[in-house]
């Protein structure tokens, strides 16, 4: 039986997922559409989340397949598309045959893995000759450099919660080198600034996240209610514009045969 609080939490998660997709999907697919994507490609979506990337990939590989994996597939239950399969699976426990996929996508996954470089090596091993790995993740800038007192407090509290769960806040910067060291070729990247004032979709995502989940930071004592309110109400002000995170999008190709 689902409680009222459980239903509300599920609704909040769905709201944030839709905002996340609107903010990040166009950027991800602008990169994917530059790859030599063929209709029969076999794709792996690691940490598929709500399934938006899996669904869009399935549309682009009508004669191929998309395998979506995540530790929590509750949001993937309603995602349907020809050639799309869903599996509840932690990537650290995944075992795929070498050469199984023409594209492996890992978005907002790697920084939270305890042995990220080792897991990236495994993902590269899963690529078929000529296949591509696309990894997107975040490099968190020092909260002390935020231009407002509220920004310094809220960013420190928010990033602190990730760090407490074992996330490597600086790993994304090393992704281009990791892919090259792993033997991939044609390694390239894009870096996107994120934070207050970096776009309407970015501001709405931050505002909604703080409105729905910010109470946890207040309850933990990491930030005051006044600081949280000041941060949220100042997101659209030029005086509060900031870059708190850099999104690294990095991709490379396994050497084709022949």
- DSSP code per residue over 100-153: -EEEEEEES-GGG-TTHHHHHHHHHHTEEEEEEEEEEEEEEPPGGG-SSHHHHH
pLDDT at residue 30 greater than cutoff 90: yes
**Average pLDDT of the segment spanning 77-106:** 93
Q: What's the predicted TM-score (pTM) here?
A: 0.94
Q: Considering the chain, what is the average pLDDT of its residues?
A: 94
CATH class of 9-141+168-195+243-253: alpha beta
Domain boundaries along the sequence of the chain: 9-141+168-195+243-253
Q: What angle do CA 138, 199, 19 make, to 5 degrees?
A: 70
157 pLDDT higher than 70: yes
pLDDT mean over 183-187: 98
pLDDT digits (tens, 9 = 90+) for 50-87: 899 999 999 999 999 999 999 999 888 778 889 999 99
Kindly state the percentage of the chain with pLDDT values over 90.
86
Look at residue 1 and tell me whether its pLDDT is greater than 60: no
| Residue 14 CB-half CA count within 13 A | 11
User: Among residues of the chain, what percentage have pLDDT more than 70?
Assistant: 97
Contacts of 178 (CB under 8 A, 6+ apart): 117, 120
pLDDT in tens, 160-183: 988 888 899 999 999 999 999 999
Q: Which residues pair with 135 in a beta bridge?
A: 106, 250
Q: Read off the pLDDT band of 5 (50, 70, 90).
A: low
Q: Give the burial class of 162: count Cβ atoms within 10 A of its Cβ; 0-12 exposed, 13-18 middle, 19 or more buried.
A: middle
């Amino acid at each position: 039986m689902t409680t009222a609080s459980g239903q509300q939490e599920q609704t909040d998660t769905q709201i944030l997922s839709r905002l996340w997709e609107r903010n990040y999907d166009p950027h991800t697919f602008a990169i994917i559409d530059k790859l030599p994507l063929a209709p029969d490609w076999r794709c792996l979506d690691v940490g598929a989340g709500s399934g938006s990337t899996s669904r869009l990939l399935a549309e682009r590989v009508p004669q191929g397949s998309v395998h979506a994996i995540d530790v929590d597939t509750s949001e993937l239950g309603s995602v349907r598309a020809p050639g799309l399969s869903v599996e509840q699976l932690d990537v650290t426990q995944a075992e795929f045959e070498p050469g199984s996929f023409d594209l492996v996508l890992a978005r907002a996954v790697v920084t939270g893995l305890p042995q990220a470089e080792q897991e990236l090596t495994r993902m590269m091993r899963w690529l078929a000759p000529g296949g591509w790995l696309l990894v997107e993740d975040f490099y968190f800038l020092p909260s002390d450099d935020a231009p407002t007192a509220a920004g310094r407090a809220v960013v420190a509290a928010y990033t602190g919660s990730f760090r407490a769960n074992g996330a490597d806040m600086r790993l994304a910067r090393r992704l281009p080198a990791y892919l090259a060291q792993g033997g991939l070729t044609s390694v390239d990247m894009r870096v996107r600034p994120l934070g207050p004032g970096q776009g309407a979709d970015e501001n709405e995502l931050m505002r909604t996240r703080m409105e729905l989940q910010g109470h946890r930071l207040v309850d933990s004592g990491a930030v005051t209610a006044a600081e949280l309110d000041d941060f949220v109400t100042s997101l659209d002000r030029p005086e509060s514009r900031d870059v708190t995170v850099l999104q690294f999008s990095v991709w490379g190709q396994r050497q084709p045969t022949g």
